[in-house]
Amino acid sequence: MKATINDVAKRAGVSMKTVSRVLNKEPNVAVTTRARVLQIAQELNYTPNFAARGLASSKSYLLALMYDDPGPTYIMEIQSGAIDVCREHGYHLVLEPVKVPKSGLAGPLIEDLEARLKRLPVDGVILTPPLSDSQIVLDVLTRLKIKYVRVGPSKNLQAIRDKETGLTVFMDDRQAAFDMTEALIKTGHKELGFIQGHPDHGSSYLRLEGFQAAINKYGLIVPTSRIVQGDYTFRSGIAAANALLSGSNTRPSAIFASNDDMAAGVVSVANRLGINVPAELSVCGFDDTPLTRKMSPQLSSVCQPIYEMGHMAAKLLLSRGDENLPSVQAVDYKLIFRGSTGRYLKDV
């Protein structure tokens, strides 16, 4: 049978409690005692019983990752980052897909969420976009007194900067979009086009803001016809590119799409129309998804450190009490230039 804490205690000639102290790295154990217990635990191949610990301590040693379909790559990266931290702390990660209803009715969602969280009372929740902005979800968690961390929230950014919010990990989408736009302008582009993301996602607005701020800074003018609404899908990128490239007006020399899928749509339309990318048209995206490297020319984009965000999120949840860890964490992005902007033209 599997060894229990009692087996270890007996063999070590100490009480159960002392073994518990050693294993939980509590202070106040004689060095020699600690060493002996540790060795015997190893000899017996002892590992504490998960359920028993949970029951006695009323902790679950579980963190939940809540998501509502923000794309498989994104979630997997967040997961990886979070899992690595969980491991260090003896925690595990469970998955909680959540469907936020498109239209008003929040009732069923709230009930469902509560039921699930009561069934499996996790010690903390990682919220990914768009859930990080869902007041409904935040309210439920607050009511159930479950700790949470918001990853990439896009609303209330001002409050975040003022640290009036809870645990948060975010990337400065606005600044990143600003930087990318500035890079395009500095390469000589004056005729810019922009494709906005899904109207329900806060990031859409932040990225647009960054774009416009750079435009303004350099005194350029972008007519409203050059700013097209998309919804983060490839298909919407196609539609937007058609509007931008095949009209009777002069076409832009560079298009900044709010994500990679839409940018891929632009490249695809350009190819069909015989517009050479990047010679006649520069294109860049956002998110630096794997897709950027699965097209020709490869796509310039903004790289979010998603793994790191997941890592930091779990860390914030599991390192409570560490005053050295600010509750709001900004992570760094990177501009990645590839063939599609022609700055550093690379072979595929």
Partner DNA sequence: CTGAAAGCGCTTACAG
| Distance (Å, whole) CA 114 – CA 303 | 35
11 lines the binding site for DNA (CB under 7 A) = no
Rounded Cα distance, 1 and 230, in Å: 60
Q: Which does 4 bind (CB under 5 to 8 A by kind): its own copies, DNA, none?
A: DNA
Q: Is 14 in the site for DNA (CB under 7 A)?
A: yes
Q: Which is nearer to DNA, 5 or 137 (CB)?
A: 5
List of residues 6+ apart from 30 with CB closer than 8 A: none
Residue 145's binding partner out of its own copies, DNA, none, with CB under 5 to 8 Å set by partner kind: none
**What amino acid is encoded at 136 in this protein?**
I
Residue with tokens 């809870």: 166
Pick from 154, 152, 157, 242: nearest CA to 195: 242
> 71 or 166: whose CB is closer to its own copies?
71
Single out the residue of 9, 12, 66, 93 in contact with its own copies (rule: CB under 8 A). Answer: 93
Residue among 44 and 335 whose Cβ is closer to its own copies? 44
Q: Select from 170, 167, 147 the least CA-distant residue to 157.
A: 170
Site for its own copies in 104-123 (CB under 8 A): 115, 118-121
- Per-residue contact string for residues 21-50; x = within reach of DNA by CB under 7 A: x-xx--xxxxx-xx-----------x-xx-
Which residue spans within 146-299 are E strands per DSSP?
148-151, 167-171, 192-196, 227-229, 254-257, 282-284
The residues, any chain, with a CB within 8 Å of residue 259's CB and separated by 6 or more, are 197, 232, 285, 286, 287, 289
Give the total of residues touching its own copies (CB under 8 A).
Answer: 49
Residue closer to DNA, measured from CB, 57 or 142 = 57
Residue 166 site contact among DNA, its own copies, none (CB < 5 to 8 Å, cut-off depends on kind): none
The H or E element spanning position 117 is helix 107-119
As a dihedral over the C-alpha atoms of residue 153, residue 156, residue 197, residue 82, rounded to 10 degrees, the angle is: 0
Q: How far apart are CA 286 and CA 207, in angstroms?
A: 9
- Determine which residue in the list 17, 143, 186, 272 makes contact with its own copies, applying CB under 8 A: 272
The residues of the shown chain that bind its own copies, judged by CB under 8 A, are: 2, 45, 47-55, 58, 60, 62, 72-73, 75-77, 79-80, 83, 90, 92-95, 97, 115, 118-121, 234-235, 238, 261, 264-265, 268-269, 271-272, 291, 293-296, 348
The residues of the shown chain that bind DNA, judged by CB under 7 A, are: 1-2, 4-6, 13-18, 20-21, 23-24, 27-31, 33-34, 46, 48-49, 52-53, 55-59
